[in-house]
Structures are given as structure tokens and as C-alpha cells.
Amino acid sequence: MSSVELLPALLVVVPILLATVPIALGLRYDRTGWSVTLATTVGLFAGTVYLATVVYGGSGTNQEVAVIHELGGFTAPMGIELVADTLSTMIALLVTGTALGVLAFTRVGGPRGNTFYSGYLLLVGGLLGLTMTGDVFNMFVFLEIVGLGSYALISSGRGPEAAVAALKYLIIGTVGASIYLIGVGFLFMATGSLNMLDLAATVPTLEGQNLQLARAAFAFIFVGFAIKVAQWPLHSWQPDAYQHAPDGVTPLIAALVSTVSAYALARLLFTVFGAEFIASTPYASEIIVTVGAVSVVAGSTLAVIQTDVKRMLAYSSVSQFGLIVAAYGLLTETALVGALIHLIGHGLMKAGLFIAVGIIAIGYGARTVDAYAGLAGERPFVAGSMAVLLIALVGIPPSIGFIGKWYIAVGAIEAQSWLVAGVIFLSTMLTLAYVARLLERMYFTPASALEAGHEDTATVGHAVTDGGTATVRGTRVTIGMLAIVIFVAALAVFLGFAGDAFFALLEPFVESADLEVSP
């Protein structure tokens, strides 16, 4: 086994094992958590980058370039595989990169403490595992590890609200994962296998009763993931969780947890079940598309009426993931590429946006849309970066948001699914509705007009007074934090020119998904 093949396992195992270190060392030393976590995350990022050079450096089909690790030396289909193919490597890059950025933010922005870092590493390990696993049951385990990590991190928020939000998330999330587990049970009944590639080979051959079982499995799996990806009407855990999580945690959860879940859904839909299965199952494609399209509209509408910025962005996630799920249901190559690009782009943009929200809460004491008034004058850099990210989210070119939307739109037209195409085009307006509201507050509403709003937030004790001098928890805005946000904003624009490159990188995976070849 070459050293490259060991990498996928290391990427998963190392963070989970090291998650115990901050707590263990914490018994003696107070301040080791950050350095351990930083070292680990940097290592993970470096490992992923190396993995990416190997995977994208190779040529051939998705299977040929993939780096596969068989855990414990047990061969598939009995053993569990960790697979880094063209898609999962890209998601892994997003995970480790974002984790690194968010970690840098938490250095000063908080939360801190050894338990936080343990949860952090656990979450990152779980996410990487979820990304690379090649086994459907193993996926459940990682889903739950991710869940555990996020519940712990969300509840590390100061207020009691955080615990309530975390419990709500825990109950709904566990039910979601359990529903997925039922689906896995049905799939196992139908095929007798749990390995994804093995399943991919078996599912198309199913017939009769076993086919019915597989369809039942499909239904359960989709519903389970609809909860995890926060599709309307199963999204209710998400706004609470995002809003009440500490500022340092929200970017991580918002950017990664739902994203990786949506990735896992794509993996199951296109690798395990395959497009043909979905197309041949009555109403399957229609249901997926409808759920997605309804989420787009409902999520945006709910986002417009929110007063809390984090909550607004949370509903925005519901809507954006709706776009992605709808694109899955279209079953065309272009739409799938679009969905995957949007998945990555959305993760990136939301990470940047939530970090910006954190910075603003620390430095400006503003958490509601109203309190953002006059922000542009006071904090030009963070407001500017946030504006760029918001505009990218609307899908105004050149930005990563546009690339995703373009491919999804082309895919919808190719599928001749006019209704979805209409929703996708209208989603620009829907997104604009809440984005413009925030932009208008930041840039075109003088702060003085809404002074009262400020004092409210200040007394709640979240952060500081208007002057930005007094600090509550010793937190302050550092140059580094600003640099992260500015970097993310620049990246979101820069990647807007990389549409073709993304297409080329993802092509092996999309081809392996074997969709009806459409131009």
C-alpha cells in the first residue's frame, strides 16, 4: 500500500484521534488546544492538497484516478473503503480549507477552550469521513459523528438559547439520520451489500420485490437527507442552530455540515442508485425537483422577513440548497455539474458571510438587519467584503455564484423542465430581495437614523458599544480576521472565471454517474 493510499484514512482518523488531545492536555495545560488544532488542521489541509494533486494529476475515468483506501485491509465489498475521487477530493479541499479559515477566526473571535477544540476536530474528522466513505452504513456513522460534533459546538454558545437550539437540532437530526438508516436497511435487504460501488453494480439488475425494496430505500434515504440538508418543510432546525451557535461555529456549520450532507446525497443518488434508477422510478425525479423548487421559494420568502442577520442567512441556505437539490432531480450532466459547483461556491460564500457577521458582531455590535445601518461608513472593509459575497450569492457574474446558476439553468433547459427553469431564473430576484435589504441598510441608511437599534443589541451583551472600544469578552477585530473575509470575497469573484476549470475537474465524476448524455 503506497503512502498516497494511506492518506484518506489518515485524513479521517487523525483528527478524530487528536480530538481527545485538547481535553487530555487540558487537564494540565490551559492553552494547548489551539496549537494542537491548528497543527492538525494545517496538516489536514496539506494532506488534502497533496491528495488533490494526485487525483487531478491522474488521467482516466473517475475510478482510475481515485485514491482508494481499504480500512483494515479488508477488501470490498465486505470491507469499508475510503474513496478520494474527483468529487470527494474537491469537497475535502473545501472542508479543510474552510476549517483552517474558521479556526484562524476563532483564535481571537472565540469560542475558545479545550472542549471547543475537541468538538472542532471531531466535526472536521467526521466531515472528512462523510466525504470520503465508500460504504453506506459507514456514512451513517460519520453522519452521526458530524451531528455529535455540531450539537456540541452549537451548545457551546453562551446563552441558554444555544442549548435549546442544539437539542432541537439533535432530535431532528437524529431522526433524519435514523430515517436514512432505515433506507440503508432496505437497501441491504434488496442487495445484501453496503459497499457503494458494489451497490452501484447491483441496483440496476434488481427486479420484482427487490426493486420495490430499493425504491423504498430510496424514499427513506431521500427524506433522511432532506432533513440533513434542511429542505423545506424539514428545515426548522437550521435557523435556530445557525442563529444561536457561537459566531465562530456558525461559519463552520453553515458552510460545511449541510454542504457535505448535500454532497452525500449526490453520492447516493448518482453513484449508488444511478440516474437510470431515479428516472425509472415513477415520480422520483419530479418529487426531488419539487422539493428543491419549493425550498427555493419558501426559503427566500422566509429570509426576507427575518430581522436577525444570521437567521436570514440561514433561510438563505434553505433556498440555495433547494436550488442544488432541484438540480439533482433534473438528471442532466450540466445540471449536476452546476449543482456541485454551487455546492462548493455556496459553502465558500456562506463561510465568508458568517465570518463577516461574526466580525461585525464583535466590532460593531450589530446583529439585526436594522442595526447594520451605516455599517459601510464605519467598517468599510468588512462591509465591502460582505457586499461582494452577497452579490455573488445573488449570482451576479463574474462570481462563483453565477457559474453554478448558469450550469443549473442550462441543465434545466436541457431537461426541458420549464417550471424549474422558471424558478431558477426567478431565484435571482428572490435572493436579491433579502440581499438588497441588507445592502441598503449597510450602505444607504445613515446609522444615526436608527441609533436605538444599536443600544438594544449592546445591552443584550453580545458585544460592544458603537465606538468599538469596550469589549465584552476580550474579543476584538484583528487584521487577520479581515484578511480572511477579504480573501474569501476575492476568491468568490476569482472562481467566477474558473467555470470551465471546474467543469473539467468534475467531468470524470459526472461521466461516471452515467447520466443520459446531453449536450
Partner 1 sequence: MSETVVTDLRPLAAVLVSAIAVVFIVASYRYPNVREGWSVLAALAKFAIVASMLPGVMNGTVYKWSFAEATGLDFVAGVDFALRADPLGMLFALLASFLWIFTSFYAAGYMRGLDEHAQTRFFAAFAASLSTAVGIAFASNLVTIFIFYELLSLVTYPLVAHNEDSEARIAGRKYLTYTFFGGGVFLLAGTVLVYWLTSSASGTDTATLEFQAGGIELLTEAAAADPAIAQAAFYLLIAGFGVKAAVMPLHSWLADAMVAPTPVSGLLHAVAVVKSGAFGVARVYLDVFGLEFPTAYPLSVPVVGDVPLNIPVAILAAFTLTAASIIALRKDHLKRRLAYSTTAQLSYIVLGLSMLHPIGVLGALLHIPAHAFGKLTLFFCAGAIHVETHTDYVSEMAGIGKRMPLTMSAFTLGAASMAGIPLLAGFVSKFYLLIGAASGAEVAVYGLEATWLWIFAASLIVSGVLNIAYLWPVVYTAFFESEDRHDAKPVFEFPAGGERKSYGVLEGEADHDIASDGGSDDSTRKDRYAVNENPSDADVPFGPGSGAGSTAAGENPVAADHDDTDQDDHTDEHHDSEANEHHETDDEEHHDDHHHGGAPLGGWERRSPLTFAESTWLMLMPITVIVTGAVTLGIVPDYAVFLELADTIVAGVTGEGVL
Partner 2 sequence: MIELLATRYAYLLMFVLLGIGLYMTIASQNLVKKLIGVNLFQTAIFLFFVAVAYVEVDGEPGGSPVVPATENPASSDLILASPLPHVIVLTAIVVGIALTAVGLALIVRIYSEYGTLREDTLREVRADE
Q: Is 219 in the site for partner 2 (CB under 8 A)?
A: no
Q: Pick from 153, 177, 391, 400: which binds partner 1 (CB under 8 A)?
A: 391
Which residues in 430-449 contact partner 1 (CB under 8 A)? 432, 436, 440, 443-446, 448-449
Q: Is 494 in the site for partner 1 (CB under 8 A)?
A: no
Minimal distance, residue 323 CB to partner 2, in Å: 29
For partner 2, give the closer residue by CB, 171 or 470.
Answer: 171
Please name the residue that has the C-alpha cell 480572511.
484
In angstroms, the CA 428 to CA 320 distance is: 11
Q: List 84's β-bridge partners, or say none.
A: 67
Outline where 74-135 has alpha helix (H).
86-109, 114-132
Number of residues near partner 2 (by CB under 8 A): 29
In angstroms, the CA 252 to CA 271 distance is: 27
For residue 163, with 0-12 CB atoms within 10 Å meaning exposed, 13-18 middle and 19 or more buried, which class applies? middle
Element (H, E) at 384: helix 380-394
Please name the residue that has the C-alpha cell 494511506.
6
Q: Pick from 83, 99, 298, 403: which binds partner 1 (CB under 8 A)?
A: 403
Selection from partner 2, partner 1, none that 144 binds (CB < 5 to 8 A by kind) is: partner 2
In angstroms, the CA 127 to CA 254 distance is: 13
Yes or no: say if 444 and 343 are a contact pair by the CB < 8 Å rule.
no
For partner 1, give the closer residue by CB, 239 or 453.
Answer: 453
Peptide bond into 15 cis (omega under 30): no
In angstroms, the CA 205 to CA 192 distance is: 13
Q: Is 71 in the site for partner 2 (CB under 8 A)?
A: no
Q: Is 90 in the site for partner 1 (CB under 8 A)?
A: no
**CA geometry: angle 231, 278, 403, nearest 5 deg:** 55
Which residues in 142-171 contact partner 2 (CB under 8 A)? 144-145, 147-148, 151-152, 155, 160-161, 163-164, 166-167, 170-171
Distances (CA, A) of 266 to 222, 225, 329, 432, 513: 10, 10, 10, 27, 10
Which residues in 167-196 contact partner 2 (CB under 8 A)? 167, 170-171, 174-175, 178, 181-182, 184-185, 188-189, 192, 194
Q: Pick from 395, 401, 453, 508: which binds partner 1 (CB under 8 A)?
A: 395
Selection from partner 2, partner 1, none that 113 binds (CB < 5 to 8 A by kind) is: none
Backbone angles phi, psi at 195, to 5 degrees: -75, 135
Closest CA to 95 of 137, 70, 129, 69: 129
Which residues in 7-66 contact partner 1 (CB under 8 A)? none
Q: Is 81 in the site for partner 2 (CB under 8 A)?
A: no
**What residues make contact with partner 1 under the rule CB under 8 A?**
334, 337, 391, 394-398, 402-403, 406-407, 409-410, 413-414, 421, 425-426, 428-429, 432, 436, 440, 443-446, 448-449, 497-501, 503, 519
Give residues in contact with partner 2 (CB under 8 A): 137, 140-141, 144-145, 147-148, 151-152, 155, 160-161, 163-164, 166-167, 170-171, 174-175, 178, 181-182, 184-185, 188-189, 192, 194
